[in-house]
């Protein structure tokens, strides 16, 4: 947290230097001394402090300044920092006017010039005022702030980006500007022409309606590689990719991991995983991902995120990936561990309201917005159950919409038991959403209850969708074989001709268990055909594939 500011204002350079010198000598270790040579400059400075989320403890201004007198500045400054103490500097001849202005401007004190010696005429007064200020002071949030509307899809995307990358931020709802003075002050400081959402940074700068890549670059996330060549290129940062990165780098491979959104993948969005070995009390997906990233970083894995691979090609013994920014990275071996993406719910209104009340997966950054409201969840597998348990701690009521007759076919028993014992969770079986309603945000849902033979319209401001997932592997088409659903074929699942030979393989040995039809290109985790869709399974495959990479590299090198 930055030190609170003491702002001194005077148009006379000598007086301003003297005030700054005396303030710094006594208060410089505890406060930041800021100066301005006019009332308007001082107001602009306060606006910048507000945008940076910093506090102002004292406003000290000379009365006689051209353009804006001291009392006028103190009156306007109090609107930006109402808790800041306000002190007026006056000459002997101005005392009557100063007292009258103090009564109308509600200034805390006035000081006569010259104030020498400060130990007698300045510090005792300011000590009392600053002690009062500290007694009332409650430190605010220091860090990145996102200012926007709850119903803005871009605002949701930004919140989700910060949340999944474990970057602390504060959400400021611009629709609360009338009731929340701090938000109103920030909106005023940004100016009437500002568009939302806006991301405010600690250095006082801000980005308006930014793309994620711009935000990532601003906060220092790496999206470009340090080197042109690596032993091991990992595409995807879910459990399989993270495990492969840790094991590969710890065993001496120059490793880079490229993740499209945030390390952790879909597992990183799980509010709590309770059946992962070694965590008897459960662990959130975000915490598990954080620990894995810390391990990978310790072993010097280079992590590019958010960054997307758009193509893969073979150049002799080298495998080359192309990134979304046009950059190419070469390596000896590649692991495809891109996991799965949520399938869309194809009913009227859902796509139009995506990010404005309709969300895919456990959008945990929206939990506070759901407080004391009704939340609907579509899906009946573990991810939906984990989401229901998480939102039950915030929402008034959580309604799970399950197409089948029960949860037993697709959900772990421990979750079923927890849901049954949570009073504000309801499970509607034989139920599905047939339409989402609302203009700029979700307001209600039409829900078909097949067991009752009726369709009802239910008030709703949040719908979270967990209806299974599919691989996004279109970019691999023509490079490695895929099954009819887009999963990557490896090892024994690769198709052979009538003689039992693999077409276009070209090596004396058979492909390794997790190797594709392109030697040196492997697949692991949920994206692989035949994989078990569990976090532990992904971690296991990512760990095992490193041994196959070593065997491959032994021949290549």
CA angle 466, 467, 471 (to 5 degrees): 100
Per-residue model confidence (pLDDT) at position 227: 93
Q: Are residues 403 and 427 in the same domain?
A: yes
Tokens of 409: 């076919």
Per-residue model confidence (pLDDT) at position 280: 85
Phi, psi of 407, deg, nearest 5 = -90, -10
Q: Are residues 283 and 382 in the same domain?
A: no
Q: Is the pLDDT of residue 542 over 90?
A: yes
CATH number of the domain that 279 lies in?
3.50.50.60
Question: Among 505, 497, 511, which Cα is nearest to 552's?
Answer: 511
Lowest mean pLDDT among 98-102, 499-503, 538-542: 98-102
Question: Among 529, 374, 392, which Cα is nearest to 444's?
Answer: 374
**349, part of any domain:** no
Per-residue model confidence (pLDDT) at position 556: 79
* CA–CA dist 82, 240 (Å, integer): 53
Q: Are residues 42 and 188 in the same domain?
A: no
Q: Are residues 186 and 233 in the same domain?
A: no
**Across 372-400, average pLDDT:** 93
Per-residue model confidence (pLDDT) at position 443: 96
State the DSSP code for 510. Answer: P
Per-residue model confidence (pLDDT) at position 188: 86
**Mean pLDDT of the chain, nearest integer:** 91
Question: Among 34, 522, 458, 557, which Cα is nearest to 240's?
Answer: 522
Q: Is the pLDDT of residue 154 over 80?
A: yes
**345, part of any domain:** no
**388, part of any domain:** yes
Q: Are residues 122 and 47 in the same domain?
A: yes
**Across 469-474, average pLDDT:** 92
Question: Among 265, 295, 161, which Cα is nearest to 221's?
Answer: 161
Confidence of residue 364 (pLDDT cuts 50, 70, 90): confident
Q: Are residues 14 and 54 in the same domain?
A: yes
Confidence of residue 8 (pLDDT cuts 50, 70, 90): very high
Q: Is the pLDDT of residue 553 over 90?
A: yes
pTM of the predicted structure, to 2 decimals: 0.79
* Distance (Å) of CA 288 to CA 241, 276, 333, 440: 13, 10, 26, 36
**Across 494-518, average pLDDT:** 88
Looking at the structure of the chain, the number of domains it has is: 4
Domain boundary at 469, 490, 512, which? Answer: 469
Q: Are residues 11 and 102 in the same domain?
A: yes
Confidence of residue 273 (pLDDT cuts 50, 70, 90): confident
**548, part of any domain:** yes
Q: Are residues 210 and 117 in the same domain?
A: no
Q: Are residues 10 and 121 in the same domain?
A: yes
**350, part of any domain:** no
Tokens of 464: 């979270």
**348, part of any domain:** no
Confidence of residue 272 (pLDDT cuts 50, 70, 90): confident
Per-residue model confidence (pLDDT) at position 93: 66
Which residue range is the domain that position 194 belongs to? 144-219
Domain boundary at 437, 469, 501, which? Answer: 469
**22, part of any domain:** yes
**Across 277-296, average pLDDT:** 89
Domain boundary at 435, 469, 503, which? Answer: 469
Q: Is the pLDDT of residue 418 over 70?
A: yes
Per-residue model confidence (pLDDT) at position 270: 81
Q: Are residues 310 and 419 in the same domain?
A: no
Q: Are residues 538 and 480 in the same domain?
A: yes
Q: Which residues of 465-487 are buried (b: 16+ CB within 10 A; e: fewer)?
A: bbbebebebebbeebbbbeeebb
**Across 247-268, average pLDDT:** 93
DSSP for 389-403, written as a single string: HHHTTTSSEEEEEES
Q: Are residues 125 and 160 in the same domain?
A: no
């Amino acid at each position: 947290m930055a030190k609170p500011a003491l702002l001194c204002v005077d148009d006379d350079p000598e007086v301003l230097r003297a005030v700054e010198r005396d303030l710094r000598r006594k208060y410089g270790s505890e406060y930041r001394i800021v100066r301005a040579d006019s009332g308007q400059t001082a107001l602009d400075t306060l606006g910048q402090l507000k945008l940076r989320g910093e506090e102002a403890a004292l406003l000290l201004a000379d009365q006689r300044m051209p353009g804006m007198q001291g009392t006028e500045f103190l009156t306007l400054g109090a609107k930006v920092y109402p808790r800041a103490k306000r002190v007026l500097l006056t000459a002997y001849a101005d005392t009557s006017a100063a007292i009258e202005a103090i009564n109308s401007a509600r200034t805390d004190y006035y000081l006569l010039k010259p104030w020498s010696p400060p130990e007698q005429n300045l510090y005792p007064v300011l000590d009392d005022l600053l002690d009062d200020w500290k007694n009332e002071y409650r430190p605010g949030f220091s860090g990145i702030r996102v200012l926007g509307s709850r119903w803005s899809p871009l605002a949701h995307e930004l919140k989700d980006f910060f949340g999944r990358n474990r970057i602390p931020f504060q959400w400021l709802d611009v629709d609360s500007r009338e009731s929340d003075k701090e938000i109103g002050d920030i909106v005023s400081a940004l100016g009437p022409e500002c568009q939302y959402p806006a991301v405010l940074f600690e250095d006082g700068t801000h980005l308006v309606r930014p793309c994620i890549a711009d935000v990532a670059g601003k906060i220092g996330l790496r999206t470009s590689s340090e080197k042109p060549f690596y032993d091991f290129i990992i595409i995807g940062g879910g459990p399989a990719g993270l495990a492969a990165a840790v094991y590969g780098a710890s065993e001496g491979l120059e490793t880079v991991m490229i993740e499209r959104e945030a390390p952790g993948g879909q597992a990183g969005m799980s509010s709590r995983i309770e059946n992962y070995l070694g965590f008897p009390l459960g662990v959130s997906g975000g915490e598990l991902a954080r620990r894995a990233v810390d391990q990978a970083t310790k072993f010097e894995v280079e992590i590019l995120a958010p960054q997307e691979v758009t193509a893969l090609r073979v150049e002799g013994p080298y495998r080359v990936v192309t990134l979304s920014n046009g950059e190419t990275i070469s390596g000896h071996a590649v692991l495809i561990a891109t996991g799965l993406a949520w399938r869309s719910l194809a009913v009227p209104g859902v796509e139009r309201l995506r990010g404005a009340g309709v969300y895919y997966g456990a959008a945990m950054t929206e939990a506070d917005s759901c407080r004391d409201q009704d939340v609907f969840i579509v899906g009946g597998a573990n991810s939906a159950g984990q989401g229901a348990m998480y939102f039950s701690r915030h929402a008034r009521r959580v309604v799970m919409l399950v197409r089948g007759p029960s949860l037993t076919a697709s959900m772990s028993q421990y979750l079923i038991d927890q849901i049954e014992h949570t009073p504000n969770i309801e499970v509607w079986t034989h139920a599905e959403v047939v339409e989402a309603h609302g203009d700029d945000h979700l307001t209600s849902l039409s829900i078909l209850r097949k067991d009752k033979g009726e369709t009802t319209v239910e008030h709703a401001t949040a719908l979270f969708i967990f209806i299974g997932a599919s691989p996004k592997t279109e970019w691999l088409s023509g490079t490695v074989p895929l099954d009819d659903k887009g999963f990557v074929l490896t090892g024994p699942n690769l198709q052979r001709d009538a003689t039992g030979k693999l077409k276009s393989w070209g090596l004396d040995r058979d492909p390794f268990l997790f190797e594709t039809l392109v030697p040196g290109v492997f697949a692991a985790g949920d994206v692989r055909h035949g994989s078990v869709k569990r976090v532990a399974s992904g971690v296991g495959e990512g760990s095992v594939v490193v041994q196959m990479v070593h065997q491959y590299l032994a021949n290549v090198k």
